[in-house]
Structure 1
Amino acid sequence: MSSNAIISITNLRLRTYIGFNEEEKCKQQDIIINAEIHYPANNLCLADNVDSAVNYKDICKSIINHVENGRFLLLEKLTSDVLGICADHPMVCFAQVKIDKPHALRFADSVSLTLSYKADDGANQ
């Protein structure tokens, strides 16, 4: 029987340059990141060995560094980049990232984009 461990990063609130309008290029905006990372809950990760685990602290630090030091025209590019960071560990079999851009539309609380990654069958066995 196999099962997945699931890491959830919930409501990571950061600021970055996102958008292509002049005001957006000159002023950082708030974004909210939610990420879900799946990997096999096998003996490697259950052995209580840090070196064989998917390290969510390292993932989060990489996301923060990339987002806060980057400039993005499109929400699609930013979301794709963050998804790539989440899926970078060889044990990851599935990852999904949703990024919200609050106040992007006048009468809406937020605009968001969600992307997901699924490893090829057999790639992470």
Structure 2
Amino acid sequence: MSISNAIIRIANLRLRTFIGFNPDEMQKQQDVVINIEIHYPADKAYAEDDVDKALNYKTITKQVIGHVEDGRFLLLEKLVADVLDIASAHPWTEYASVTIDKPHALRFADSVSLTLQWQKEPE
């Protein structure tokens, strides 16, 4: 049986951080909404039903939470790139995508979002 890579989706992780370069943004934390997608080969995990052979999304999520909540970011680009680094760090990861929304960043918009993607280079 041929099964494609597993796709882990962490949806709508709501956190607060210092994001922005305007004086009020540097003094007050703002909400951000994070969506992460990670692709990895899960054939050994499902074939053997072995936790140690699965990518641990709880560990990744805890790292993201710590980094975002403890950080200060001038640009959304920096925040997204940092989270993408965390999402793509595991050696099994073949592809990762991170989108972060900054709700109410613009007066007449629900949010502003930015997406960055990473893909493992072919060997």
Letter in 2 for 1:104: A
Contact 2:40/2:94 (<8 A) preserved: yes
The TM-score, its normalising length taken from structure 2, stands at 0.95
Shift of 1:2: 5.1
CA distance in 1, matches of 2:27, 2:89: 31
Shift of 1:50: 1.8
Give the structure 1 partner of residue 99 of structure 2. Answer: 98
**Could you tell me the percent identity over the aligned residues?**
63
CA distance in 1, matches of 2:32, 2:51: 30
List gaps (5 residues or longer) in structure 1: none
The TM-score, its normalising length taken from structure 1, stands at 0.93
Give the structure 1 partner of residue 88 of structure 2. Answer: 87
CA distance in 2, matches of 1:67, 1:48: 32
4+ residue stretches of structure 1 with deviation over 4 A? none
Contact 1:19/1:72 (<8 A) preserved: yes
CA distance in 1, matches of 2:85, 2:51: 22
SS at match of 2:6: strand
SS at match of 2:25: helix
Contact 1:14/1:31 (<8 A) preserved: yes
List gaps (5 residues or longer) in structure 2: none
Contact 2:42/2:53 (<8 A) preserved: no
Give the number of aligned pairs. 121
CA distance in 2, matches of 1:3, 1:104: 38
